[in-house]
Structure 1
Amino acid sequence: MPTWQMAHGGEGASVDEPLTEELLHELLEAPSPVAFTEAHGIAHRDLAEYLNQLLDEKGLKRSDVVRAAGLNETFGYQIFKGQRKASRDKVLQLAFALECNLLETNRLLKAAGVNELYCKDRRDAIILFCIDRGLGLQRTDEELYRFGEETLGA
Structure 2
Amino acid sequence: MYNLILNIHIWTSLLFVVISIVLTFRVTKGYFQKKEHYGKTCIYLENSFIILLYLGLILGFLLYFFMEPTNKYVVKSVADVNRILSLRFWSVEHFSVMLFALILAQIGKIFTSKSINHLLKFKYAMIYYGSATLATLISLGFYLAYR
Q: Give the TM-score, by structure 2 length.
A: 0.29
TM-score, length of structure 1 as denominator length? 0.28
**More helix by proportion, 1 or 2?**
2
Which structure is higher in RCO with an 8 Å CA cutoff and minimum separation 6? 2
